[in-house]
A and B are shown apart, each in its own frame.
Chain A
Amino acid sequence: MDIQRGKVTAIMGPSGTGKTTLLKLIGGQLRPSAGFIEVDGQDVHKLKHAKLYELRKKMGMLFQSGALLTDISVFENVAFPLREHTKLPESLIRHLVLMKLQAVGLRGARDLMPAELSGGMARRVALARAIALDPMMIMYDEPFTGQDPISMGVLVQLIKVVNDALGLSSIVVSHDVEETCAIADYVYLVSNGKVVDHGSPADLAQSDSSWSQQFMRGMADGPVPFHYAAKAYANDLLGL
């Protein structure tokens, strides 16, 4: 699997196939049982603790829940990485935070607490926090799950705009085919921990693979069967 700089790369597949695990492997939160992962030319799992933390400063990650710190305000959440990693004066931190919040359309919500935000707003705040240190890449874990159509539209647009405006590399893990394909430059389809197909969204729409067709079109039956493995229906009914 190769993630290109400056592009939006999507990793799609059914629930439970290891998409989030893959993001945690890239971020060095989990160790691979085999193989290796390189980010910016560095083998993530051979790095010492301090070097790994240095690398993580260049990686942003947007968790499915937003993972905002619940005991501090929206403003302080976005300021958190700046306060932890820089010695910038307070006035400059304020400017940076307001710029990041303006980019996600939530400058007016800076004094709210995370509990007062909707799910979509929480993810936008998390995005503002993820770009606070101007990382080189951002990983999105299921950014569209559970969002209403307006929030989803906002997030789809934001991921693309932020990627292009800041010159980032983005990895979007999702199973929302339509929204993800709308912004992805390249897509990897994974199932049971393996890459089963890859290509541009247009290529995958025309793919010969019956698995890819089932997933991209959301068909109930196909290589992934509708029925969970069981003995023959008639035998089951007759108690044989």
Chain B
Amino acid sequence: MIEYFQRLGARSFGMFERLGRGTVFFINIVLSIPSVLIRPRLLVAQLYSVGVLSFSLIVIAGLFVGMVLALQGFYTLSDFGAEGMLGVMVAASLVRELGPVVAALLFAGRAGSALTAEIGLMKATEQLSGMEMMAVDPVARVITPRFLAGLISMPLLATIFSAIGILGGYFIGVGLLGIDEGGYWSQMQAKIDFSQDIINGLIKSIVFGWVVTWIAVFEGYDAIPTSEGVSRATTRTVVHSAFAVLLLDFILTALMFGDI
């Protein structure tokens, strides 16, 4: 029994110690942001590999999520004779919740895992140590451009996800199920509030972009420099990111929409 509590205690200490190291690591990232901003070339290269290469996945996923939402929503709304509200339902679901959350989960799987694996392998092959010995700070040169790229890409990808999803809903709702085209768009324009829905959705995606990219770059930098260590770190990135996104989504939703 005592051993059980000892193990529990050791695990808790380990968790807090990692959280502490992660926080110090994040502070180092923030401190090195100015050095990246004066060399935007590093950031542009990472925007391509983190953001642009995730684009097709986000577009395809957004399209299908929007189409499924329209199909499911139509059958529920039609029971109440409220098919005309389909556009509002699709847009509100996407902009408030599914856009930021699903895009962040996909982003963690596509870009987050790639970031962790890349940084972890750079550590395992002594590239990061090599940089340190060449008097080049690996946090400023390798980590911060990737972190900023994730932070910038995520809200853009989430916005694209929502926009494509709304179009997917339009194809199904108007094209297949025969809903009035004008009603689809006008109801959406009337009911979706810019600050309440769109800005709050955007804030969510920025927070998710921050947490997913932070987890990804920290796991890579902190990985045990072996093939097994990098593999475990990559898995942890996806799992921890998913948990963090869902937990933060709940907290943010409660803060933003709790009083409605």
Which residues of A are at the interface with B, using a C-beta cutoff of 8 A? 24, 27, 29, 53-54, 56-57, 59-61, 63-65, 67-70, 80-81, 84-85, 126, 129
Contacts and interface: CB of A to CB of B under 8 A. Distances in A.
B133 A59 contact: yes
Contacts of A85: 135-136
B137 interface: yes
A29 B130 contact: no
Contacts of A81: 134-136
Contact of A84 (B122, B127, B130, B136): B136
Contact of B133 (A29, A65, A68, A80): A29
Interface string B110-152: 0000000000001001110110111111000100000000000
- A interface secondary structure, majority: mixed
A178 B141 CA distance: 40
A67 B132 contact: no
Nearest to B133: A61
Nearest to A126: B130
B129 A29 contact: yes
A59 B130 CA distance: 11
Interface in B82-125: 122, 125
A134 to B, nearest CB: 13
A85 B141 CA distance: 13
Contacts of A65: 125-126
A183 B125 CA distance: 28
A84 B134 contact: yes
Contacts of A60: 133
A70 B125 contact: yes
A68 B130 CA distance: 8
A234 B37 CA distance: 71
B126 A53 contact: no
A129 B126 CA distance: 15
